[in-house]
Amino acid sequence: MKPTTASVTEPTAAERIRSVLARAGSLTLTTDGHRYDLVGLHHVDGTGQVRLRLPADSPLVARAVCAPRGALAALLEFTDVSPTSVRARVRAKVTLSGWLALTDDAEDGAGDGSSLRLDLARATLEAGADMVVVGLDELVLAEADPLAVEEAALLTHLVDAHEDMVARLAQLAGPRLLQGVVRVQPVALDRYGITLRCEYARGHGDLRLVFPEPVRDPAQAGDGIHSLLAAAQACPHRRRTSPRP
């Protein structure tokens, strides 16, 4: 049975992958014994297919053209890093494997360069100790979180301009989780809620605070946070939290 909106408290693995791809500025590509660190040379189309825009004389383009049947086996890795200064900033790693093939430059808007597309065969999401293989159909049907691209700006603004609000959000954790805490910082934000990282002298733990209703766009993120604080103040014994080790 499909979960109701009220029962969903966080993005699916497929949605998380699409969000990582949407906000990633760089990737690492491994193929044919060669490794490339590519910055600002990729984009993701509406179905989640990764395309690379490269100079026409790029060795990678030459290898793709000379590969059997014009398709070069490749592994693409994306690292999702928290925009805020917290311990263990790597939140997730996305790995895509498949074949790189040359596309029509005009179709992909590559201009004077060349464009390669990744025909995806396998997609995985690694978060902490968990690794999930996501089905290709599921990935195509999923969408990036509406806050994904603006998440970094929203979180850094919260830290820089609303330290008092972060402190009030931390109080929702309750005395047990806050015992011995040395710092609390927001580490992730999506349409369903915000995650705080509670740091201790040794180790850290995450606290998930779920919005009463999912937000639809970045302009509503502040409303979601204010609703958490208002609900806690009105009825403190009914806090929607989800502690994480």
205-243 pLDDT tens trace: 999 999 999 999 999 999 999 999 887 676 554 444 544
pLDDT at 151 over 90: yes
Q: What is the pLDDT of residues 68-124, one digit of tens each?
A: 988 999 999 999 999 999 999 999 999 999 999 998 754 555 567 899 999 999 999
Sign of CA dihedral 26, 131, 159, 84: negative
Q: How many angstroms separate the CA atoms of 225 and 128, rounded?
A: 26
Sign of CA dihedral 6, 242, 128, 198: positive
- Residue of 120, 111, 126, 116 lying closest to 138 (CA atoms): 120
pLDDT above 90 covers what percent of the chain? 75
In the chain the domains, ranked by start, together with CATH numbers, are 5-141 (2.30.110.10), 151-244 (3.20.180.10)
Q: How many angstroms separate the CA atoms of 92 and 90, rounded?
A: 6
The per-residue pLDDT for 110 is: 54
Q: Look at strands 130-134 and 90-102 and give their pairing.
A: unpaired
What's the predicted TM-score (pTM) here? 0.90
pLDDT above 70 covers what percent of the chain? 89
The mean pLDDT of the chain is 90
Q: Which residues of 224-243 are buried (b: 16+ CB within 10 A; e: fewer)?
A: bbeebeebbeeeeeeeebee
Q: How many angstroms separate the CA atoms of 212 and 223, rounded?
A: 10
Render 78-100 in DSSP notation, one character per residue. Answer: EEEE-SS--SS-EEEEEEEEEEE
The per-residue pLDDT for 217 is: 97
